[in-house]
């Protein structure tokens, strides 16, 4: 049994020693977990002096040392204390497996939006989504006016990744007992979201189902349809090594990962009315900030050319969503310190003692949309983005599949 820690090159002697974990450990894939910053000062005593392996990885030095039974027990206890999305009840791998099974029955699915060819020169592009357990926080905080914006955002942000302009939106609102005033607040948010994305709220369904939901609770889902010219579809097929990844900032957690957020909140002992550690607002306010609707910004950038692929960073984070737009054999190299991570994510990670790899596969980490562009377009976009619309150069496309962090 062995375990791996990042270490400096000076640690070469095969003797009993103390190893201080370092954040410089380069994560090559989602299966390698980085140590939480709160553990940086803790030393791990290695009781066995046998050095079993020494190698370099992406210019970072890693040393593998044999561990005693007591060290293994401590490590197991340490890992058991770390929260994961699966611990909170959401299994991303199971969801991915279901999509693969559905794809066998309905070939062609798997993109951010579904394309339907029209008789002329255009595709209809459709998407559907909900807002997950962010609704639980809406019930607790009483903030219902913006959850409809989240609902619209989740669908229109998906279909705009194809370069499609949203045309119309449909909603579904379900509850056990219809509270007209509350439902009006939710629908108002949907109308606001449609205005932000320049589409029409065409219709919807209100379902009153006694005994199905808890008193005062409801569920919502939405459906967006857009249109794009067949010769203008953004599908990632022309992405090549050396293309640049540009990130558009998120407003916070958006509408994914809230099952884990709620588990962290429960563990932290804080309430939604408490101030966000490191922030200027309450936890409730920080978590309920509505999802950014990127439609107008993205379509404006698309009209200027050079964009080869677009990824909406939702459930699955960078790890699962960015590769969805790449051709086979290509991956992403992300520069870890190239953007500002909002304080809410720092609190989530520290309070939940969540590994870096788990954070990157669960949350958007401050980036809600990633554009894959050629170098010439990247220069132009980043220069234009120095004004009100902040953008970040996140990394580049590399040979080899997956997402690595440097």
**How would you write the pLDDT of the chain (406 residues) with one tens digit per residue?**
333 333 333 322 332 333 333 333 333 333 333 333 333 333 222 222 222 222 233 333 333 333 444 545 555 455 658 888 887 878 878 888 888 898 788 877 768 999 999 999 999 999 999 999 999 999 999 999 999 999 999 999 999 999 999 999 999 999 999 999 999 999 999 999 999 999 999 999 999 999 999 999 999 999 999 999 999 999 999 999 999 999 999 999 999 999 999 999 999 999 999 999 988 999 999 999 999 999 999 999 999 999 999 999 999 999 999 999 999 999 999 999 999 999 999 999 999 999 999 999 999 999 999 999 999 999 999 988 765 678 999 999 999 999 999 9
> Which pLDDT value is given to residue 367?
98
Question: What is the reported pLDDT for 113?
Answer: 95
**What pLDDT does 69 receive?**
47
Instruction: For the chain, give the secondary structure using H, E and C.
Output: CEEEEECCCCCCCCCCEEECCCCCCCCCCCCCCCCCHHHCCCCEEECCCCEEEEEEECCEEEEEEECCHHHHHHHHHHHHCCCCCCCCCCCHHHHHHHHHHHHHHCCCCCCCCEEEECCCCEEEEEEEEECCCHHHHHHHHCCCCCHHHHHHHHHHHHHHHHCCEEEEEEEEEEECCCCHHHHHHHHHHHHHHHHHCCCEEEEEEEEECCCCCCCCCEEEEEEEEEEEEHHHCCCCCCCCCCCEEEEEECCCCCCCCHHHHHHHHHHHCCCCCCECCCCCCEHHHHHHCCCCCCHHHHHHHHHCCCEEEEEECCCCHHHHHHHHHCCCCEEEEECCCCCCCCHHHHHHHHHHCCCHHHHHHHCCCCEEEEEEECHHHHHHHHHHCCCCCCCEEEEEEEECCEEEEC
pLDDT number for residue 98: 86
């Amino acid at each position: 049994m062995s375990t791996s820690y990042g270490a400096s090159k000076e640690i070469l002697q095969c003797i009993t020693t103390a190893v201080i974990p370092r954040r410089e450990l380069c994560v090559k894939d989602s299966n390698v977990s980085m140590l939480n910053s709160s553990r940086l000062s803790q030393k791990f005593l290695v009781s066995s002096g046998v050095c079993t392996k020494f190698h370099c990885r992406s210019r970072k030095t890693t040393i593998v040392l044999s561990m005693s039974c007591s060290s293994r027990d401590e490590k197991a206890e340490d890992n058991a204390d770390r929260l994961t999305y699966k611990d909170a009840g959401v299994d991303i791998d199971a969801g991915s497996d279901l999509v693969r099974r559905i794809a066998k029955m309905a070939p062609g699915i798997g993109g951010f939006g579904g394309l339907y060819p029209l008789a002329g020169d255009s595709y209809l592009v459709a998407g559907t989504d909900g807002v997950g357990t962010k609704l639980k926080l809406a019930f607790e905080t009483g903030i219902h006016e913006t959850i409809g914006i989240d609902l619209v955002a989740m669908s229109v942000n998906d279909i705009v990744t194809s370069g499609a302009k949203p045309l119309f939106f449909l909603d579904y609102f379900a509850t056990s007992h219809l509270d007209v005033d509350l439902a009006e607040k939710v629908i108002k948010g949907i109308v606001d979201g449609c205005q932000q994305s320049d589409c029409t709220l065409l219709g919807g369904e209100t379902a009153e189902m006694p005994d199905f939901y808890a008193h005062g609770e409801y569920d919502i889902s939405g459906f967006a349809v857009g249109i794009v010219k067949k010769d203008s579809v953004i599908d990632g097929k022309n992405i090549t090594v050396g293309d640049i990844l540009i990130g558009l900032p998120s407003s916070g957690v958006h509408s994914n990962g809230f099952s884990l957020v709620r588990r962290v909140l429960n563990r932290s002992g804080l309430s939604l009315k408490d101030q966000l550690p490191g922030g200027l607002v309450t936890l409730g306010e920080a978590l309920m900030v509505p999802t950014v609707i990127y439609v107008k910004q993205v379509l404006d950038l698309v009209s200027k050319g050079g964009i080869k692929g677009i990824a909406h960073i939702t459930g699955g984070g960078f790890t699962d969503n960015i590769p969805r737009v790449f051709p086979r054999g290509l991956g992403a190299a992300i520069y870890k310190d190239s953007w500002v991570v909002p304080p809410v994510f720092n609190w989530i990670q520290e309070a939940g003692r969540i590994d870096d790899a788990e954070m990157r596969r669960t949350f958007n980490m401050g980036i809600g949309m990633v554009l894959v562009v050629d170098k010439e377009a990247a220069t132009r976009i980043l220069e234009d983005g120095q004004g009100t619309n902040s953008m970040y150069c996140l990394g580049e496309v590399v040979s080899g599949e997956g997402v690595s962090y440097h």
